[in-house]
Structure 1
């Protein structure tokens, strides 16, 4: 009888309750300061990252190969026969390739690694849907075959306080930068499903208009499809709560979950002021 493990990383923003409910295995990214290295969401909180940004902007790295190796050894000891891993977009990280190398050294476990082409709860939703399919008794092959269609139903949008942190971390992708910032142009950012990099979905002038525009975009999607709503923020609680409320009131929003703050490592690259939403289209 098959036993399927679910693997993701700390950027997926799954709550502790869901991690425990679905027994999800989490690989922590690393946050690196001059004098110390932290494991994302284990040794450091988002608040600590934001509080220290004026003193030092840390760098980051993907989960260590040692952590991946240790995880697979543990899975073998626990009798897992299969593993499904959903990881941060390859357009933003090298975790996909690292995990692929490690998984190939553990032939006892048949592994499928999926490039989410997303971040935060856009990644986490895929894991959650896989968990539900496991609970329903679906086979490894059936679940794997359905993951691409799950990904296609995810709509992710966010705005940031400034593009400076995305630029510093090399995560700017196809988002237009400096000149627009001088004119107070605020891009609505999404992730390109083809290459997994950030791009400008739309742009408006001013912070208030950018938040209003996210609400308009999401309500437009909800006009056509029943959706589940997720909202998150990066040191921007009040703005994100307002956006969440304005979208959650739509009659086609079937469930609404306020995730709270994004992972510390995501905060390093986005900086303070992020407001993000995910709409997951129901089948």
Structure 2
């Protein structure tokens, strides 16, 4: 039995080659009165809805009960503390729901960690937490490893259109930075302190926006720096292949894997999106 168990929420885009197989408190997608839990609709089904449904979808954070269900799924082999890793509180109320879940079963011991990010970068932190548990480390060590991973990891993404961010009310500082020039393709990141979206670049075409994303990675870490690279894609998997090829021309890539953007995140990005979570060198615990 590990000293603690890890759970997370639907902000995660999981990688098959990382330790990401943990119980998930799911988000929901809402098309007017019709709601789907994120595991009840495929990405293809979502794209069809976006094409044909006149109602723009919204997302709902996990409920406290969703968090409790995920937590209780870890307790089949005996009661151990739970480490809950949430999407950035700057982007969602999921952390508040996790806090409320404590009261539903006072017998469970919880620690709640705000990743201050999402998606592939959240996956990196979940990997750190599960690795710590598998190695018999304490929750405090897991928190230290996640903090180190957060500090050294950058998440950049671009989208074909800002329309979905605009409709969902999530555009925030991205809109302010672009000054309403919505025909441009943004390069967006998540600020480490606030955990909110901010724009760091832009391009006139989607293909040049992919190049701008990979250029941001190289600018951050320096050409020639060995990297771990998690690639995200929306409706076009080949976008991620193009990005990886560009990075490999400038960096040794120590690890790479692909993840499809999950349906809840896709309603804010729109169907076509490309993202990269990158970090330098080996994992903190391997150094």
The alignment's TM-score, normalised by the length of structure 2, stands at: 0.88
Contact 1:248 1:256 in 2 (8 A): no
Partner of 1:49: 46
Partner of 1:253: 253
1:83-116, Cα deviation, whole Å (9 max, x unpaired): 1111111121100011011124444333221111
| Change in 2 beyond 3 A, CA 1:24/1:74 | closer
**For 2:146 and 2:202, how far apart are their aligned partners in 1?**
31
Q: Root-mean-square deviation (CA), in Å?
A: 2.2
Partner of 1:228: 228
Contact 1:3 1:80 in 2 (8 A): no
* Deviation of 1:142 (Å): 1.8
Partner of 1:9: 9
Mapping for residues 30-49 of structure 1, pairs under 5 Å:
30-40=28-38, 42-49=39-46
1:124-164, Cα deviation, whole Å (9 max, x unpaired): 11001111122222112222233222211111001111111
Contact 2:14 2:20 in 1 (8 A): no
**For 2:75 and 2:256, how far apart are their aligned partners in 1?**
37
| Change in 2 beyond 3 A, CA 1:159/1:6 | same
Aligned pair count reads 277
**For 2:132 and 2:234, how far apart are their aligned partners in 1?**
31
Unmatched tracts of structure 2, length 5 or more = none
1:131 is paired with a residue whose SS is helix
* Deviation of 1:201 (Å): 1.1
Partner of 1:273: 272
Partner of 2:243: 243
| Change in 2 beyond 3 A, CA 1:195/1:72 | same
Unmatched tracts of structure 1, length 5 or more = none
* Deviation of 1:14 (Å): 1.1
- The answer as to 2:180 corresponding to 1:179 is yes
1:243 is paired with a residue whose SS is helix
| Change in 2 beyond 3 A, CA 1:134/1:73 | closer
The alignment's TM-score, normalised by the length of structure 1, stands at: 0.89
* Deviation of 1:250 (Å): 3.8
| Change in 2 beyond 3 A, CA 1:96/1:25 | same
Partner of 1:163: 162
**For 1:227 and 1:65, how far apart are their aligned partners in 2?**
37
